[in-house]
């Protein structure tokens, strides 16, 4: 049977929830899913951020609905999902995007820091997925996309909690695949490379002497594309994984990284 490739990417009639969707990567993914036809519900950690996010969607001509809750709060998440279901319908697509990072040498990192990052970047993704799965099971269809990271595969100095969480998120993705694939629910991950957002601003910041943070040159040297990624680079891959075109893809982490994971870098001086 020939696949109608034009309609395979159409998300018309679908309800998508994007956590952390007020700005940054989450906003870009909500925008993309909306452009593919989905109705957008986005989450943010506060009403203030929801208000900012609503303006961002409005400026983009998108009629999104915003819901404030701390995604580590299981009761609040259940209430948010219930409200979205009543106002928009059963959630068909979940993008588990919200996340934080703490950058400190491990010996200086309080255990509370480590725990909070794991709580938000891993445990909360479990909480939100667990809240939306019953609705997906009732429809015998659903898409969960977990936003992973280079740190789902690699470590680096100062990000112990973040790497532990994102590594765990890769395995949670595979576990949801294993446990719910028979209910026609596909759970995959997107692993962005280094993307120019608020979260990575400190790694690109101008120094007192006018040069950029040394990390900027480091990342450009490690990225075969020789550039930082943009949030737009993540839009097509997300629509793809949220669509019927990816119905037989499950438990996969799609790295959108300009080639970082494929290369351990070139000799100094090589372009
Ligand atoms: P960002 O600009 O810092 O945005 C993070 C979002 O998460 C914010 O919207 C924030 O909500 C939300 N959030 C944080 N804690 C929350 C909580 N407890 N409850 C609800 N929402 C919460 O980061 P970003 O660069 O867009 O990154 C988004 C995702 O991509 C994160 O999971 C990050 O780890 C991942 N990622 C980023 C990169 C990169 O290079 N930027 C690369 C790979 C993966 P508020 O708006 O309310 O603050
Ligand atoms: C860092 C960065 C990275 C990116 C991203 C890379 O401090 O190394 O913040 O962790 O956010 O996760 O994929």
Q: What is the pLDDT of residues 200-248, one digit of tens each?
A: 999 999 999 998 899 999 999 999 999 999 999 999 999 999 999 999 9
Give the model confidence (pLDDT) of 165-200 as tens digits. 999 999 999 999 999 999 999 999 999 999 999 999
Return the structure tokens found at 214: 């040394």
Residues whose CB is less than 8 angstroms from the CB of residue 196 and which lie 6 or more positions away in sequence, other chains included: 204, 228, 229, 230, 231
Give the model confidence (pLDDT) of 78-109 as tens digits. 999 999 999 999 999 999 999 999 999 999 99
Cβ atoms of 220 and 208 closer than 8 Å: no
Ligand 2 mutation target, pool 146, 166, 200, 213, most atoms within 8 A of CB = 200
Cβ atoms of 184 and 228 closer than 8 Å: no
Query: Cβ atoms within 10 A of the Cβ of 89, count?
Result: 15
Ligand 2 mutation target, pool 102, 148, 163, 194, most atoms within 8 A of CB = 194
3-state secondary structure of 92: coil
Cα(243)–Cα(105) distance, rounded to whole angstroms?
40
Residues designated catalytic: 162
Q: How far is the CA of 221 from the centre of ligand 1 (A)?
A: 25
Decide if pLDDT at 251 tops 80: yes
Cα(211)–Cα(103) distance, rounded to whole angstroms?
21
Instruction: With cut-offs at 50, 70 and 90, classify the pLDDT of residue 67.
Output: very high
Return the structure tokens found at 145: 């996309």
The CATH architecture assigned to 5-198+229-262 reads 3-Layer(aba) Sandwich (3.40)
CA dihedral 71→166→215→52, nearest 10 degrees, is -20
Give, in order, the Cα–Cα distances in Å from 253 to each of 122, 144, 171, 215, 229. 15, 12, 10, 25, 17
- pTM for this predicted structure: 0.98
Q: How far is the CA of 151 from the centre of ligand 2 (A)?
A: 7
Decide if pLDDT at 46 tops 80: yes
Q: Atom of ligand 2 at shortest distance to CA of 101? A: 9
- Calculate what percentage of the chain has a pLDDT beyond 70: 100
């Amino acid at each position: 049977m020939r696949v109608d490739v034009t309609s395979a990417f159409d998300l018309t009639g679908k309800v998508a929830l994007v956590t952390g969707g007020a700005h940054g990567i989450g906003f870009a993914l909500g925008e993309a899913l909306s452009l593919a036809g989905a109705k957008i519900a986005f989450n943010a950690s506060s009403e203030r951020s929801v208000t900012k996010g609503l303006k961002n969607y409005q400026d983009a001509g998108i009629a999104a609905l915003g819901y404030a809750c701390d995604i580590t709060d299981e009761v609040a998440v259940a209430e948010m999902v219930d409200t979205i279901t009543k106002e928009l319908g059963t959630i068909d697509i979940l993008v588990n995007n919200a996340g934080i990072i703490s950058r400190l040498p491990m010996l200086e990192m309080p255990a509370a820091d480590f725990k909070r990052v794991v709580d938000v970047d891993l445990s909360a993704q479990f909480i939100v997925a667990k809240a939306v799965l019953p609705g997906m099971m009732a429809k015998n269809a659903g898409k969960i996309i977990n936003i992973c990271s280079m740190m789902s595969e690699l470590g680096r100095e100062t990000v112990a909690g973040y790497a532990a969480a994102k590594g765990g998120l890769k395995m949670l993705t595979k576990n949801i695949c294993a446990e719910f694939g028979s209910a026609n629910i596909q759970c995959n991950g997107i692993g962005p490379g280094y993307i120019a957002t608020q979260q990575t601003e400190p790694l690109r910041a101008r120094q007192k002497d006018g040069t950029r943070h040394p990390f900027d040159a480091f990342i450009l040297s490690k990225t075969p594309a020789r550039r930082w990624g943009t949030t737009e680079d993540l839009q097509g891959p997300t629509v793809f994984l949220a669509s019927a075109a990816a119905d037989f893809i499950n438990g996969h982490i799609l790295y959108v990284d300009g080639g970082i994971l494929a290369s351990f870098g070139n000799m100094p001086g090589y372009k």
